[in-house]
A and B are shown apart, each in its own frame.
Chain A
């Protein structure tokens, strides 16, 4: 049995037929070849697979592709504007918010959700928002700095607009 799904991924309309048991993360990685979204723990713990589904940060290893039918999905590939990095991506680069980089896509997508809900988070709020994202290299110190950098930059951009 396959089910038809129609959705938008990073602004591009997609129509596919998928097995109902196909997880969203494998749909993104193996059907659409968007391999920026990672599979870490596969048990909705680590957050490497976080994408936005209709603007909500979701662990895509714990969602079926068929559940995303009709939704708009944003993955890490959808953030940069050509060669211009998104302010959160820039923050991770400037503040050394990664070492191996495996957790980074999920961290960035979660940070995007946080800054949409709370454009001026304090350190405790940033750490609380990252509760479901594990980094196993460096700890979280520079990740927090990267998000603070992005928050500052995004506020400036809003101000200039």
Chain B
């Protein structure tokens, strides 16, 4: 399959990429790793007139620690994150998220910024971003803004990113204290996307969970934090009984997706099962 014809432009700076977006509006598309966009173009689901390649812009691929934040350049690949000792030592769940994406070849090319901008309802990163309370740094013609992950994912393939804006960085607060993290994923065996993916961070103080973050992908039209589960475990010891009770609250007041892979009821059931798996693993990592 060959995509429709398009003009190709390699951007050398973020500013140049934004200029093309301003000039061409919705006829332009940014090409990062291309592992969602090119398949969509081959299937004629997306037919950009102008394809702006941002993958060679210098200074968009990095992983560093800065002011108690993990800072990831938007063009950092899933493999770079999966194999990062720094990420592993600070928030190991993010390495699990990265390693669970697609396959080795896809992780070599796909980028975190590209995945977030695409916002596939079953993509892995959105759950990781919500559970870690990441900040998405966005640059546009008017300058730079920081959007918390909870305000970024707005619906099916829909984000807070405007047509003329580009994600430049992801900033993730490094949690302090006695923390446990985990990502548990029920893999759709053909596509490797998440039927249900659950990312969690818990912190324990005096034997009790003083903070619980838990987010789902694949369950609804966009990833979300499940506050019912978070509240149910906060203030309680992270033992199997309390975790089981909390996980039962998963995806209760949520519009759950239904397709030929998994019905609404089955997905809701999976959400409870994977919430428990993720919380148990995080508790074991405390």
Question: Are A110 and B104 closer than 8 Å at their CB atoms?
Answer: yes
Central interface residue in B2, B10, B31, B109, by most chain A CB within 10 Å: B109
A33 → chain B, closest Cβ, in Å? 19
A72 to chain B, nearest CB (A): 15
Are B108 and A58 in contact (CB-based, < 8 A)? yes
CB pair A66 B106 closer than 8 Å: no
Bound-complex Cα distance A132 to B31 (A)? 22
Q: How far is the CA of A131 from the CA of B187 in the complex (A)?
A: 12
The range of chain B's interface size is 20 to 34
User: Nearest Cβ distance between residue A64 and chain B, in whole angstroms?
Assistant: 7
- Assembled-state Cα–Cα distance A43/B105 (Å): 13
Q: Is the CB of A64 within 8 A of B38?
A: yes
A21 contact set on B, CB distance < 8 A: 2-6
Q: B39 contacts the other chain (Cβ, under 8 Å)?
A: yes
CB < 8 Å: which of A42, A58, A59 contacts B1? Answer: A42
Closest chain B residue to A69, Cβ basis: B10
Mask of A12-46 contacts with B, CB within 8 angstroms, 1/0: 00000001111100100000000000000011110
Contact B51 A132 (CB under 8 A): no
Q: Within B31-50, which residues are at the interface with A (CB < 8 Å)?
A: 31, 34-35, 38-39, 42
- Asked if B34 and A64 sit within 8 Å, CB to CB, the answer is yes
Asked if A42 meets B7 with Cβ closer than 8 Å, knowing A57-B105, A67-B53, the reply is: no
Chain B: minimal CB distance from A13 (Å)? 19
**Cβ-based interface call for B157 (8 A):** no
Q: Quick one: closest B residue to A51, CB to CB?
A: B105
A63 in contact (CB, < 8 A): yes
CB nearest neighbor in A for B8:
A20
Question: Which residues in B have their C-beta under 8 angstroms from that of A59?
Answer: 105-106, 109
User: Closest CB of chain A to B122's CB: distance in Å?
Assistant: 16
- The answer, yes or no, to whether B103 is at the interface (CB within 8 Å) is yes
Interface presence of B113 (CB below 8 A): no
Contact flags B1-21 to A (C-beta < 8 A → 1, else 0): 111111110100000000000
Q: Is A47 an interface residue (CB 8 A)?
A: yes
B104 & A44 in contact (Cβ 8 Å cutoff): no
Contact with A along B182-226 (1 / 0, CB 8 A): 000000001010000000000000000000000000000000000
> Interface digits, A91-118 against B, CB 8 Å rule (1 contact, 0 not)?
0000000000000000000100110000
Interface residue? A3 (CB, 8 A): yes
A67 to B55, CA, bound (A): 9
Q: Enumerate chain B residues within 8 angstroms of A26, measured Cβ to Cβ.
A: 2
* CB within 8 Å of B: which A43-78 residues: 43-45, 47, 50, 56-59, 62-64, 66-67, 69-70
A residues in contact with B108, CB < 8 Å: 56-58, 113
Once the chains are docked, how many angstroms separate the CA of A21 from the CA of B47? 11
Point out residues on A near B: beta carbons under 8 Å.
Answer: 1, 3, 19-23, 26, 42-45, 47, 50, 56-59, 62-64, 66-67, 69-70, 110, 113-114, 129, 131-133
B positions within 8 Å CB-CB of A: 1-8, 10, 31, 34-35, 38-39, 42, 51, 53, 55-56, 79, 102-106, 108-109, 190, 192
Q: A62-B35, A132-B104 are in contact. List 12 more A-B contacts (CB 8 A).
A: A20-B51, A21-B3, A21-B4, A21-B6, A47-B103, A57-B108, A64-B34, A66-B53, A67-B31, A129-B104, A132-B103, A133-B103
